[in-house]
Structures are given as structure tokens and as C-alpha cells.
Amino acid sequence: MKETYLTSSERETESLGERMAARLAGISVAALYGELGAGKTALTRGIARGLGCRDSVSSPTYTVVNEYRGGARRVCHFDMYRLSGADELYDIGWEDYLASGCRCVVEWGQIAEAAFPPDTAYIRITKTGENMREITLEC
Ligand SMILES: Nc1ncnc2c1ncn2[C@@H]1O[C@H](COP(=O)(O)OP(=O)(O)OP(=O)(O)O)[C@@H](O)[C@H]1O
Ligand SMILES: [Mg+2]
């Protein structure tokens, strides 16, 4: 399944994420692709909200992973930007995260692609203008 959406503000991207959350119900990993400032964190904010988490969502810059609670499943938000590959993801306990049944949202998915299980949703964000984004969901 592949779907394409267009958004024209951060707020629209957040609400798209909120709606996408329902599509991610049976999935363990959402891998996000897109350049700096594409809107990966904005989309994650919506996804977490859509999954029932009320914690505030921001890039896990110093920690690699942030965890949000409140929904049926914990949401673990990874930012791979400073990591060099899938090995480092395993070093911080990736397999335990997957086994725990949490839903993992991973920014800079290309850095850790080798680690993703078959039930991964691939979300690509492309800047098509100052505030315009094309967002595709494949799962
Ligand atoms: N349609 C849009 N959707 C999302 N963000 C938008 C949009 N238009 C403009 N923006 C702006 O783009 C920026 C997106 O920031 P965000 O932190 O979500 O990106 P990111 O992909 O997570 O970046 P990083 O690679 O630094 O983690 C924000 O400043 C936001 O206001
Ligand atoms: Mg980000």
C-alpha cells in the first residue's frame, strides 16, 4: 500500500500524523526519511498524539531515544542523526525495544535500515516549497 499526501504547514503535518496513527496500528516501526527540517519531528508529534500519548514530543537530540506514554502502547522516538549505522542501534538495545511491543518511530531511517523488521512502515517527506511537503506512506 502506498499513499501520498500534501501539507502546507507544520500544523497540517501534525494532524496528518495524527490520522496516520490509525494506519500504524498493527506496525512496530515507522521509519521516517527526509532532509533537515523536512518535518519528521512534526509528523512524529502527530503520530504520538494519535496513538494517545500526551507527553510533549521533540527531537531526542542528546538521548537518541525519547519515550512517550499514555497510549495503549509506549511510543519510542529515535533520532539516528548522530549515529553511524544499525550497529549503534543494537548497542542501545533495539531488540529489547522491539520485543517490548512498543511502537518505534525512527527519524533518519536510512541510517538504520538494516535493523527494521518486516512490519515497518516507510514514511518519506519531501520539501516541495517553503512550507509545502509531500509525504508518502508505504506499508
Ligand atoms: N508543511 C510543513 N510540515 C512540517 N513542517 C513544516 C511545514 N512547513 C514548514 N515547516 C517547518 O519546517 C520545520 C520542520 O521541523 P522538524 O523539526 O519537524 O523537522 P525534522 O525533519 O524533524 O528536522 P531534523 O532533521 O532537524 O530532525 C519546522 O520549523 C516547521 O515549522
Ligand atoms: Mg527531527
Q: Which ligand is nearest to the CA of 45?
A: 1
Number of domain units in the chain = 1
CATH number at residue 82: 3.40.50.300
Q: What is the mean pLDDT of residues 73-86?
A: 93
Q: What is the mean pLDDT of residues 48-67?
A: 89
Closest residue by Cα to atom 23, ligand 1, is: 37
Residue 21: pLDDT band with limits 50, 70, 90:
very high
Residues lining ligand 1, Cβ inside 6 A: 7-10, 12-13, 34, 36-42, 59, 107, 131, 133
Euclidean distance between the first and the last CA atom of the chain, given in angstroms as a whole number: 6
User: Is the pTM above the cut of 0.85?
Assistant: yes
Residue ranges making up the domain that contains 46: 2-138
Residue 134: pLDDT band with limits 50, 70, 90:
very high
pLDDT at res. 109: 94
Q: What is the mean pLDDT of residues 43-64?
A: 90
Return the number of other C-beta atoms located less than 10 Å from residue 10's C-beta.
Answer: 16
